[in-house]
Amino acid sequence: MEARQEFYDFEYYLSLEYRYFSRSHRGRVSSLLNFLGDISNKSILDFGGGAGHLAYFMSQRGAKVTVADYSKAALTFGAARFPTLSFVEADYKNLSSIKEEYPIITCFDVIEHLAEPQLLLANLAQCLEAGGKLYISTDNEMSPFATNHLLKRLDNYWRCLSGEGRDYALIKKVESYRRSILNKDYHQSHVQEFSPTRLKELLEQNGWQTDMFIGYHLWSNPLKNLITKLLGKESATAFAYCCSRR
C-alpha cells in the first residue's frame, strides 16, 4: 500500500530539505550528477522530485529543470524555495499534465514508493523524446551492507569516519525523535524492494534497455568504499541505471 497523501505533504519533503543541505547526501548528489554528465542547457524532467532539492543541484550545472510531483504542498514549497525551477503537478498513473517531451528524465528514489511501478515506466516513455535517456535510482535492498549482520554493525561504527556519516547519524537521531512525536516513519513509504537485477528485469519487461549502471552509497567513508571495490559496484547501498527505449 502506498503512503497516504499527507505523508508526502509534510514529512517527506521536509526530511529531504535537511538531508540534501547537510553533508549526509553530498556523496549521493555528487554520484548522480556525475552519472548525468554534461547537462548544461539540457531540458530535464525530474519526476517525483518533491520540492526540487535534487533538481536545484542539476540547475546549478546549467540544466533547465521541470519538477513533477503529486504533492501540492511540496510543489508550493519548492516554487518559493527554488524560483528558477519549473513545477508541475502530476501523478505517475496519469501524466497528461506534462505537455512536453524531454531529452532527459530523472526519477531518483521514486520507484520504491509505488505500488504499480510498471505504470510509471510505461507513462514516462510518453514524456521522453526519441533517443532520450531515463535515469532511475533506488536503494539496493540486497546490498551486503543491508543484509549482512556484521557489515551492518560495522557500518554504524564507521559513520564517525566521515563528515557525511556524522551528519547522517545526527539526522537519523533527529528523525527518530520526530517520529516519536508524530508517529510517522520516514521509510514507511517504501512499498517495493529492488536489487540491481530485479530493477533491470522490470525495466526490460516494460520496454527499456539499460545502457549504464552505477552503484554508490548514501554516505561513504574510505573503508566502506574499499569493501565495495572488492565486492563490486552491485554491493553498494544504492544504484542507478541510465536507460533508453528499445
What CATH code is carried by the domain that includes residue 52? 3.40.50.150
What's the mean pLDDT in 110-122? 95
Element (H, E) at 127: none
The pLDDT of residue 179 is 66
Question: pLDDT confidence of 223, banded at 50, 70, 90?
Answer: confident
Q: Is the pLDDT of residue 1 over 60?
A: no
- Say what percent of the chain tops pLDDT 70: 87
Question: pLDDT confidence of 168, banded at 50, 70, 90?
Answer: confident
pTM of the model: 0.89
Q: Is 3 helix (H, G, I), strand (E, B) or coil?
A: coil
Q: Is the pLDDT of residue 122 over 60?
A: yes
CA angle 7, 242, 114 (to 5 degrees): 25
Among 62-66, 70-74, 138-142, 168-172, the minimum mean pLDDT is found in: 168-172
Query: Between 75 and 169, where is the model more confident?
Result: 75
Query: Between 45 and 219, where is the model more confident?
Result: 45
- Residue 103 burial by Cβ neighbours in a 10 Å radius (0-12, 13-18, 19+): middle
Total of domains in the chain: 1
- Could you list the residue range(s) of the whole structural domain that residue 116 is in? 5-245
Among all chains, which residue has been given the C-alpha cell 513533477? 68
What's the mean pLDDT in 136-140? 96
- Angstrom distance (rounded) from CA 35 to CA 152: 27
Question: pLDDT confidence of 198, banded at 50, 70, 90?
Answer: very high
- Angstrom distance (rounded) from CA 82 to CA 189: 25
Q: Is 129 helix (H, G, I), strand (E, B) or coil?
A: strand
- The string of pLDDT tens digits covering residues 22-71 is 776 778 889 999 999 999 999 999 999 999 999 999 999 999 999 999 99
The pLDDT of residue 12 is 64
* CA atoms within 13 A of residue 126's CA, in its CB half-sphere: 12
What's the mean pLDDT in 103-118? 96
- Angstrom distance (rounded) from CA 200 to CA 204: 6
What's the mean pLDDT in 96-102? 96
